[in-house]
Structure 1
Amino acid sequence: MKCPICGKPASERYRPFCSRRCADVDLARWLRGDYRIPGEPVVDPDKEE
């Protein structure tokens, strides 16, 4: 299995990543919203008039 960030072989300890650095890079991408899926805005039924 290859690391999804850099393509090196995955490490058992950080699977599916090769290192802590690549795991942290992936976490940062999640936190910034880089993996979001575009879609229609959700309407909050409590705020509808």
Structure 2
Amino acid sequence: MTYQTTLGWSLVTSGIVTLLLWVLPGSDLLWGLALLVLGGLVLYIRQ
């Protein structure tokens, strides 16, 4: 059950991020790297 919830939130978040990358100005690569680092920090802090 937890896996399905996590997968669902992951897909929803991916969709939102994709829309944000489409709307935000600047390089998609730069935004992608920034979000990757932010996600890593969140996972590291939650441990």
Structure with the largest fraction of helix? 2
Larger Rg: 1
Both structures adopt the same fold (TM-score exceeding 0.5): no
TM-score calculated relative to the size of structure 2:
0.38
Higher relative contact order (CA 8 A, sep 6+): 1
